[in-house]
Amino acid sequence: MVSWEYPPLVVGGIATHVEGLATALARAGHEVVVCTLHHHQAPDDAVVDGVRVLRADTALPWLPDDDLVARMASANHQLVQLTARLDGWRPDVVHAHDWLTAWAGDTLHTLFAVPLVATVHATERGRHGGHLPPGLPGTINSVEWWLTYQAHQIIACSRFMVREVIGDFELPAEKVHLVPNGVDVARWRADGNGPREPLVVAWGRIQYEKGFHVLARAIGELRQRVPGIRAVIAGRGSYLPELQTAVDIEGVSDIVQLAGFVPDPDLHALLQRAACVVIPSLYEPFGIVALEGMAAGAPTVVARTGGLAEIVEGTDAALLFEPGNHHDLARCVERLIADPALGESLRRHSAELLARTYTWDAIATATANVYSRAVG
């Protein structure tokens, strides 16, 4: 596998997905090597949970900071160079995750003369509401087109994303396969089930399409109706200054904390106290944070968009609200705070849903079937 991020290097949901998938494949008896980027807290060549993880030195030739695609393409050369450490070991398939590793994936499948499988975790057109603004988005879209053309098989994480990938890149339907994300319930399971506070927790990459500004407006609406309400939004990203401005304009900077990066133990502690988790995305191919919130036992509220809606629609595992509608979101949060029995019902149904559909072992089996199709 080739991935731009892998724990402890975590930028978004790809790291969690690749780690969960790789370790589950290893448990099933497959030999898995992940080529990824260097991180100061991890060795550059190690076996972790049965997965060999090779990390590339990220020292690059000088390139302008604002030329993202050039920097990615340059770094992909170092990802390819990692395979010199394999000492004759050869893969049966190369699996590239998203456009960030398109060049390495294409080169490696050619060098090893094996099929290329690509997972499209999101598309640039989708991130911009179905449009491509001039400049960088169009360039990234071109790389996505090329990757989906070069790959023998494509994986997408939801029916929403399958339709988007087939339509945007004009692919034959038989080339694109639905394999959802999973969650390690044991990693997120709460130690206890203590009293809940009027606390709302959200986390993820701080980008416009994640909709955190909608949550800030909903909290502003609730401050007079729900005594003691407050929210923590955890994460980093390029939209953070604009989000802080939105919080200030809404007049909720005293009760909405933009916490930056929050380590897992601290995040888990927050979730055990929270009245609910909110995933307010405007665009969401899947929404792995929804699975994580449910696995932590926190009542969950999600926007009815993309893959998020698919996860919970008709399951009674979470409340849904219309994306971008802060009034609708405020009503959902208020219901959960006022009705602990509703929260308990959501927790029970979400536990059943995760055990039935979203274990990493099930996701690994489905992915291995795509590998077999590619090889065949």
Q: What is the pLDDT of residue 59?
A: 67
Torsion of CA 155, 8, 4, 87, to 10 degrees: -90
- Whether 6 is covered by a domain: the verdict is no
121/187 Cα distance (integer angstroms): 22
- Whether 369 is covered by a domain: the verdict is yes
Q: What is the pLDDT of residue 75?
A: 87
> Are residues 196 and 172 located together in one domain of the fold?
no
> Are residues 73 and 160 located together in one domain of the fold?
yes
> Are residues 176 and 195 located together in one domain of the fold?
no
The pTM score is 0.82
> Are residues 178 and 199 located together in one domain of the fold?
no
Q: What is the pLDDT of residue 356?
A: 87
- Whether 1 is covered by a domain: the verdict is no
- Whether 5 is covered by a domain: the verdict is no
> Are residues 240 and 198 located together in one domain of the fold?
yes
> Are residues 366 and 329 located together in one domain of the fold?
no
> Are residues 135 and 173 located together in one domain of the fold?
yes
For 47, the domain range is 13-182+359-375
- Whether 155 is covered by a domain: the verdict is yes
Q: Bridge partners of 178?
A: 156
47/219 Cα distance (integer angstroms): 45
> Are residues 93 and 193 located together in one domain of the fold?
no
DSSP 281: -
> Are residues 146 and 213 located together in one domain of the fold?
no
- Residue 270: partners with Cβ closer than 8 Å, 6 or more residues away: 199, 201, 232, 234, 262
- Whether 297 is covered by a domain: the verdict is yes
Q: What is the pLDDT of residue 72?
A: 87
> Are residues 307 and 367 located together in one domain of the fold?
no
Residue recorded with tokens 């060999």: 52
- Whether 209 is covered by a domain: the verdict is yes
41/358 Cα distance (integer angstroms): 29
Angle at 20 between CA 69 and CA 209, to 5 degrees: 45
> Are residues 195 and 284 located together in one domain of the fold?
yes
Per-residue pLDDT of the chain (376 residues; tens, 9 = 90+): 999 999 999 887 899 899 999 999 999 999 999 999 999 999 999 999 999 999 998 666 667 777 888 888 888 999 999 999 999 899 999 999 999 999 999 999 999 999 999 999 989 998 888 888 888 999 999 999 999 999 999 999 888 899 999 999 999 999 999 999 899 888 888 765 667 899 999 999 899 999 999 999 999 999 999 999 999 999 999 999 999 999 999 999 999 999 999 988 899 999 999 999 999 999 888 878 899 999 999 999 999 998 888 888 899 999 999 999 999 999 999 999 999 999 999 999 999 999 888 999 999 999 999 999 999 8
> Are residues 157 and 288 located together in one domain of the fold?
no
- Whether 7 is covered by a domain: the verdict is no
For the chain, the domain total comes to: 2
**CATH value at residue 252:** 3.40.50.2000
